Amino acid sequence: MEYEWYADVFLLTNLLMDMSAMFAAALLLNDRLRLGRCLAVCVAGVTGSTVLLILLKKYLVYSIILHMVIHPLMTFGVFGAKDRGRFLRTLLTIYLILFVMGGVQNSIGVLLGSSTLEILLSGMAAALLFCIYQIRRRVIQQICRVELWAGTEHVTVDAYCDTGNLLRDPLTGRPVCILQQEVLAQFAADRTIQKEISCHTIGTEKEKLKIVMLDKMKIYQKGTVTEIKEPEIGLHTGEIMQNPKVQMLLHAGYIR
């Protein structure tokens, strides 16, 4: 059985698939990537794999080199290798994504037999994943580091700079930041609940929020450090956001 193979179609389709896989892996693993570096690495990787496919007569040898050499190098080029475990997790995630996308691509080819449609769908997938990644990246850029101090003890958390958090203590008028209640347990000394105030979020009814007062809070954002004396902290049970790294919602009044 013979079939026609077009190098340009193969290169473009695989380039879009590889970029889609990189964006999807960055989304799934909450990792960052640079668009320019990602594009350059994917172009180099796909070009190299295309040349190998043309030169090598045995497809098995090509597959071994592709999966054991080219894909690991591409993963390293895009995401780096901070530690071996994280690198392997990223590589396996990319393999899984490519496996699923390859199955979808083959199904489209068998059912519709249109290489143009394959390229179009791959491009749409890459564009969609890129948009989602950019949205996630903007959220990540709104995260700052906060140190919470109780006496000589301190706990460092990732806080989301939430311009929608306008909650204030009705008695003192001071801003109230929202913190995961589990974080407070990291302090050796118990902090007494000072008061309860009413609050509500989108999709929920009014509820009582327990307030504690810490000794100080240091906010690190945009190269500056802001120290707040005796900040009022509202305690929230469960996750603050879908991003598991975020443990605190900063008040809008503290955002620079």
Residues 126 and 13 grouped into a single domain: yes
Residues 84 and 50 grouped into a single domain: yes
The first and second tokens of residue 64, run together, are 């071994």
Residues 155 and 234 grouped into a single domain: yes
**How far apart, in whole angstroms, are the C-alpha atoms of residue 147 and residue 94?**
35
Residues 219 and 164 grouped into a single domain: yes
45 in a structural domain: yes
Q: Which residue has the tokens 């956001």?
A: 241
Which pLDDT score is estimated for 73? 93
| 102 closest CA partner among 73, 76, 67 | 67
57 in a structural domain: yes
Outline where 56-114 has alpha helix (H).
59-65, 71-79, 84-112
Which pLDDT score is estimated for 94? 87
Domains in the chain, number: 2
Residues 78 and 176 grouped into a single domain: no
Residues 131 and 17 grouped into a single domain: yes
**Could you tell me the CATH number of the domain that includes residue 180?**
2.40.70
Residue 180 host element (H or E):
strand 176-180
Q: What pTM was estimated for this model as a whole?
A: 0.52
DSSP state of 66: I
Residues 136 and 17 grouped into a single domain: yes
Q: Which of 90, 111, 141 is the last residue of a domain?
A: 141
> ∠ at Cα 73 (70, 77), nearest 5°?
135
Residues 102 and 58 grouped into a single domain: yes
Residues 33 and 119 grouped into a single domain: yes
DSSP state of 252: G
In tens digits, the chain (256 residues) has pLDDT values of 444 556 677 788 788 888 888 888 887 776 777 888 988 999 999 999 888 888 888 888 888 998 899 999 999 999 887 778 888 888 998 888 888 777 666 666 655 555 566 666 666 676 677 666 666 666 556 778 889 998 888 888 888 887 778 888 888 889 999 998 888 888 877 666 678 887 765 445 567 888 888 989 998 877 788 899 999 998 888 887 766 778 888 888 887 7
Domain that holds residue 202: 143-254
Residues 147 and 228 grouped into a single domain: yes
2 in a structural domain: no
**How far apart, in whole angstroms, are the C-alpha atoms of residue 106 and residue 129?**
20
Q: Which of 124, 141, 158 is the last residue of a domain?
A: 141
